């Protein structure tokens, strides 16, 4: 989240905290909910897609 901190680290006077802190708290909560770490998240890669042949059209 470095870019979030870079661009959204200022304190929002209406909420009393920065957008970066809010997003970081939400990420931490979601990771805990799924028993994951930040390392797990950054190491994840999607499964390769399987290409199938399209049916021939007449």
Tokens 């890669």 belong to 45
Strand, coil or helix: 49? coil
- pLDDT, residue 58, reads 63
- pLDDT, residue 55, reads 72
Closest CA to 3 of 20, 22, 17: 20
**3-56 pLDDT per residue, tens:** 888 888 899 889 899 999 999 999 999 999 999 999 999 999 999 988 877 777
Instruction: State pTM to two decimals.
Output: 0.66
C-beta separation of 15 from 8 below 8 A: no
User: How far is Cα 44 from Cα 48, in angstroms, rounded to an integer?
Assistant: 12
């Amino acid at each position: 989240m470095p870019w979030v901190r870079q661009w959204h680290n200022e304190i929002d006077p209406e909420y009393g905290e920065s957008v970066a802190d809010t997003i970081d708290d939400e990420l931490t909560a979601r990771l805990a909910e799924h028993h994951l770490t930040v390392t797990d998240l950054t190491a994840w890669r999607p499964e390769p897609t399987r290409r199938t042949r399209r049916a021939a059209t007449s």
